[in-house]
Amino acid sequence: MLEIRPNCEHCGKDLPNSSTEAMICSFECTYCKDCALDLLENVCPSCGGNFQPRPIRPKVMLAKYPASEKQVHLPKNKGKIEKMKVRYRLIKPEKR
Ligand SMILES: [Zn+2]
Ligand SMILES: [Zn+2]
């Protein structure tokens, strides 16, 4: 089950469950669309995987399965971002 983290871990932007801007990698590293697609160019700086829009959990399910309220704020340094981009940016996700 996804945690549905409440914010972009790089820039800190709020990304509530209902946000249409939340993007996640397969490990649920969570970024806003601007960070995931523009800054990171669809390369997760932690795992090298790609991002997909995070699904929205239906309201009726939130009572029993609430979204996480635990902020994860781990801004990535430029060097790490660049290193992963150089390695993976031009390789399709399914070939990484
Ligand atoms: Zn962001
Ligand atoms: Zn990742």
Residue pair 15/45 in contact by the 8 Å Cβ criterion: no
Ligand 1 geometric centre to CA of 10 (Å): 5
Q: What residues are paired with 22 via a beta bridge?
A: 32
Q: What's the gap in Å between 95 CA and the centre of ligand 1?
A: 26
- What does the pLDDT read at residue 29? 97
CA–CA dist 21, 39 (Å, integer): 14
Average pLDDT (28-34) is: 98
Protein residues with C-beta less than 5 angstroms from the ion ligand 2:
25, 27, 29, 44, 46-47
Q: Is the dihedral of CA 72, 76, 81, 84 positive or negative?
A: negative
Confidence of residue 39 (pLDDT cuts 50, 70, 90): very high
User: Residue 59: how many CB atoms within 10 A of its CB?
Assistant: 9
Compute, in angstroms, the gap from residue 12 CA to the centroid of ligand 1.
6
* Average model confidence (pLDDT) across the chain: 97
- How far, in Å, from the CA of 81 to the mean position of ligand 1? 13
For residue range 43-82, what is the model confidence (pLDDT) as tens digits? 999 999 999 999 999 999 999 999 999 999 999 999 999 9
Sketch the domain layout of the chain as residue ranges.
22-95
